[in-house]
Amino acid sequence: MTDMPMSNPVSGATKGTLMQPDARTRRRNAAEKRFRIYGATAIGIAVLALVVLLFTIFRDGSGAFRQTYLAIPVELNAQVLDPKGNRDPGEMSKVLTLGYGKVLDAAVEATVARENIQIEGLTEAEIKGLISKDASAQVRSRVLADPELVGQTIEVDVLANGRVDGYFKGRVTLASAERDNNTSPQQLMLADELRDRGLMVTRFNWHFLSNPDASDQRPEAAGVGVAILGSLYMMLVVLFLAVPIGVAASIYLEEFAPKNRWTDVIEVNISNLAAVPSIVFGILGLAAFINFAGLPQSAPIVGGLVLTLMTLPTIIISTRAALKAVPPSIRDAALGVGASKMQSVFHHVLPLAMPGILTGTIIGLAQALGETAPLLLIGMVAFVKNFPASPPEGLFDPASALPVQIYNWTQRSDPAFIERASGAIIVLLIFLFCMNLLAIYLRRKFERRW
Amino acid sequence: MYDMNRVENAVSQTDIKIAARGVQVYYGDKHALKDVDVDILDKTVTAFIGPSGCGKSTFLRCINRMNDTIPIARVEGKIALDGEDIYDRRVDPVQLRAKIGMVFQKPNPFPKSIYDNVAYGPRIHGLSRNRAELDEIVEKALRGAALWNEVKDRLQEPGTGLSGGQQQRLCIARAVATAPEVLLMDEPCSALDPIATGQVEELIDQLREQFSVVIVTHSMQQAARVSQKTAFFHLGNLVEYGETDDIFTKPQDSRTEAYISGRIG
Amino acid sequence: MPLSWALFASLLLAFAGYLLGRSRAFAAAGPDVRQLHSRPTYHGASVALTALMPALAVLAIASILRMAGVITAEAGTIVGLIALAASVLGLGWAATRIGRDFQARNAVERIVLGLLIMCSLIAILTTAGIVLSLLFETGRFFQVYDWKTFFFGTEWTPRFQGNSQLGILPLLWGTLYISFIALIVSVPVGLFAAIYMSEYASKRVRSFAKPAIEVLAGIPTIVYGLFALVVVGPMLRDYFAQPLQLGNSASSVLTAGLVMGIMLIPFVSSLSDDIINAVPQSLRDGALGLGSTPSETIRQVVLPAALPGIVGAVLLAASRAIGETMIVVLGAGAAAQLGLNPFEAMTTITVKIVSQLTGDSDFNSPETLVAFALGLTLFIITLALNVVALYIVRKYREQYE
Q: What is the pLDDT of residues C306-349, one digit of tens each?
A: 999 999 999 999 999 999 999 999 999 888 888 888 899 999 99
Q: Is the pLDDT of residue C354 over 80?
A: yes
The answer to the question of residue B265 being in a domain is no
Instruction: Tell me the chain C residues in contact with residue A265 when contact means C-beta distances shorter than 8 Å.
Output: 124
Burial of C379 (0-12, 13-18, 19+ CB in 10 A): buried
Residue A32 Cα, gap to closest chain C Cα (Å):
5
Q: What is the pLDDT of residues A203-220, one digit of tens each?
A: 888 888 888 888 888 888
pLDDT at A13: 42
Q: What is the pLDDT of residues A228-279, one digit of tens each?
A: 999 999 999 999 999 999 999 999 999 898 888 888 888 888 988 988 999 9
Instruction: Tell me the chain C residues in contact with residue A283 when contact means C-beta distances shorter than 8 Å.
Output: 130, 133-134, 353, 357, 371-372, 375
The answer to the question of residue B16 being in a domain is yes
Q: State the Cα–Cα distance between residues B143 and B150, nearest whole angstrom.
A: 10
Neighbours of A244 (CB within 10 A): 13
Is-contact A360 A366, C-beta < 8 A?
Answer: no
> Can you list the domains of chain A with their CATH numbers?
65-205 (no CATH), 225-446 (1.10.3720.10)
Phi, psi of A190 (to 5 degrees): -60, -45
**Residue A156, SS3 per DSSP:** strand
Q: b or e along C220-231 (b: 16 or more beta carbons within 10 Å of the residue's beta carbon)? A: bbbbbbbbbbbb
Tally of domains in chain B: 1
Q: What is the pLDDT of residues B82-116, one digit of tens each?
A: 888 999 888 888 888 989 999 998 899 998 899 99
The answer to the question of residue B187 being in a domain is yes
**Does A37 reach chain C within 8 Å, measured CB to CB?**
no
CATH of the domain at B16: 3.40.50.300
Instruction: Tell me the chain C residues in contact with residue B174 when contact means C-beta distances shorter than 8 Å.
Output: 286, 290
Q: State the Cα–Cα distance between residues C98 and C100, nearest whole angstrom.
A: 7
**Does C274 reach chain A within 8 Å, measured CB to CB?**
no
Higher pLDDT: C168 or B69? It is C168
In this prediction, residues A132-156 reach a mean pLDDT of 83
Half-sphere exposure of A295 (CA within 13 A, CB side): 26
Give whole-number Cα distances, A75 to A71, A140, A150, in Å.
13, 13, 8
Phi, psi of A391 (to 5 degrees): -65, 155
Amino acid letter, residue C1: M
Chain C contact partners (≥3 CB pairs within 8 A): A, B
> Can you list the domains of chain C with their CATH numbers?
2-138 (no CATH), 156-399 (1.10.3720.10)
Q: State the Cα–Cα distance between residues A86 and A78, nearest whole angstrom.
A: 10
The answer to the question of residue B83 being in a domain is yes
Give whole-number Cα distances, A285 to A303, C158, C354, in Å.
8, 24, 13
Return the top range by mean pLDDT from A129-143, B142-156, C75-89, C259-273: C259-273
Phi, psi of A7 (to 5 degrees): -65, -15
Find out whether the peptide bond into A415 is cis, omega within 30 degrees of 0.
no
Give whole-number Cα distances, A97 to A92, A135, A138, C312, in Å.
11, 9, 9, 61
> What contacts B63, CB < 8 A, 6 or more positions away?
B18, B20, B79, B86, B100, B182, B184, B214
Is-contact B125 B107, C-beta < 8 A?
Answer: no
Is-contact B62 B33, C-beta < 8 A?
Answer: yes
Q: What is the pLDDT of residues C271-283, one digit of tens each?
A: 999 889 889 989 9
Higher pLDDT: A19 or B183? It is B183
Test C222 with A36 for CB contact under 8 angstroms: no
**Reduced 3-state DSSP string for chain B:** CCCHHHHHHHHHCCCEEEEEEEEEEEECCEEEEEEEEEEEECCCEEEEECCCCCCHHHHHHHHCCHHHHCCCEEEEEEEEECCEECCCCCCCHHHHHHHEEEECCCCCCCCCEHHHHHHHHHHHHCCCCCHHHHHHHHHHHHHHCCCHHHHCCCCCCEHHHCCHHHHHHHHHHHHHHCCCCEEEEECCCCCCCHHHHHHHHHHHHHHCCCCEEEEECCCHHHHHHHCCEEEEEECCEEEEEEEHHHHHHCCCCHHHHHHHCCCCC
Q: In C28-175, at which residue ranges do the beta strands (DSSP E only) sit? A: 156-157, 165-166
> Which residues constitute the domain of residue B92?
4-260
Give whole-number Cα distances, B214 to A297, A303, B17, B102, B228, in Å.
77, 68, 11, 9, 10
> Chain C window 278-297: which residues touch A at a Cβ cutoff of 8 Å?
293-296
Query: Of C116, C296, C386, which is closest to A248 when you measure between CB atoms?
Result: C116
